[in-house]
Structure 1
Amino acid sequence: MDTIEDPEGIDPKNACKVDVNVNSYFNTRDGRKVYNRGRIISLIIDLEQYAVIDLEKDIFREGYFWDSNQRANFWIVKGPHLTYKLTSDGEFL
């Protein structure tokens, strides 16, 4: 996450850019198997106001839906070798 200089409507001290890489996946809609093409979604967030549930909602607003038997998993990548699962709001810091 990079600090943002001048985001709109967000306190610049708390603003960060988050890039979410949504992988391609299949799900079922109306009994049909549907392919969902992945892409990178860039968001500017306020770290003091944003939560993991907000991340799920923002991905949903971008047109990505999953079945009741599927779960969204978010992973944080720091550097070339450190990757860990995002499990709490505090990990955004």
Structure 2
Amino acid sequence: MLTFKKYKFFFKIITTIFQISIFSLITSCTLKKNDILFNNETNNSQLKKLIIPKGINIPSENQEYHIPYTQEDLNKKNHDIFPPI
């Protein structure tokens, strides 16, 4: 009975070492293949240009955001929560 407990402990240690080694091998292989994710040159070329509708300005540091509402929009009883498109 004593030998079974020793073997059980030994197998637990072996399995944890095996799991850690598999985990480290898998992560190192995936990081080597995906170095594109860490390359800033390709990331900058993948960004798309933001399309801004006419009449809406992008605020600078000292400006507030302005949405061009009409007087008709302001007089409505049921206000839309979305800005006009």
What TM-score range do you get, normalising by the shorter chain? under 0.3
Larger Rg: 2
Q: Quick check: which one's helix share is greater?
A: 2
TM-score (norm 2): 0.23
TM-score (norm 1): 0.22
- Looking at both structures, which has the greater relative contact order when contacts are Cα pairs under 8 Å and sequence separation is at least 6? 1
